[in-house]
Amino acid sequence: MKEEFISLLRSTEREGIDRVISKLESMGFFTAPASSKNHLCVEGGLLEHSMNVYKMAKMIREQLLAVQPELKIKEESVIIASLLHDVCKADIYKKGLKWRKDDQGRWEQYEAYEIDYTNFPMGHGEKSVMMLLMCGLRMEQDELLAIRWHMGAWNLAFQNFEDKSCISAAADKCPLVTLIQAADNLAAHVLEVDKS
């Protein structure tokens, strides 16, 4: 799966992509979980989730183009946005010990992932965008918007009116935003629901 992920990124021939791949490797992206307790909370879950989002995004793009051939959603933009939307998670999960009660009501320790945002507490989508830009990745505006706003309504609970207006404008301007939001949700809440 890692080889396919890297091959897809390199297929874009995008300036800075090899630096991004090196950074992902050094940050632990390929072994990180996708979440601390929800979907794909397993070693390598983040890689699997990113590939699932890509597969869903690719399928959605193909279906949209079949219905509306003039729609402007580039294949390389789908690759960039879907595979790199969650790079912000690469350095936040740490293994730790937690306590729970077993079947007999006795306390037991178990290994679990804990979240630590102290490395670069920038947020979610905006952190992914910043990390990619800091690696020197050349991105198009629709890719920046799709990665920044990929959480959709899930990111808005604590945001202000201005952010709600921005996400709406981004979705109206750029079909890739809605495509990545849909692919991310389908991957996390349909494909991965039984794998957690």
pLDDT digits (tens, 9 = 90+) for 155-191: 654 465 566 666 666 666 779 999 999 999 999 888 8
Neighbours of 182 (CB within 10 A): 16
Report the alpha-carbon distance of residue 85 to residue 77 in Å, rounded.
11
- CA distances 55 to 4, 78, 91, 106, 135, Å, are 12, 10, 24, 43, 25
The set of residues, in sequence order, having a beta carbon less than 8 Å from that of 32 and lying 6+ positions away, is 43, 44, 45, 46, 47, 89, 90, 91, 93
Task: Provide the total of helices (H) and of strands (E) in the chain, helices listed first.
Answer: 8, 2
Q: What is the mean pLDDT of residues 148-155?
A: 71
195 pLDDT exceeds 70?
Answer: no
CB 176 within 8 A of CB 77: yes
Structure tokens at 24: 């992902």
Q: What is the mean pLDDT of the chain?
A: 86
Report the alpha-carbon distance of residue 88 to residue 28 in Å, rounded.
11
pTM of the model: 0.85
pLDDT at position 191 is 86
78 pLDDT exceeds 70?
Answer: yes
CB 64 within 8 A of CB 179: yes
pLDDT digits (tens, 9 = 90+) for 49-76: 999 999 999 999 999 999 999 998 999 9
154 pLDDT exceeds 70?
Answer: no
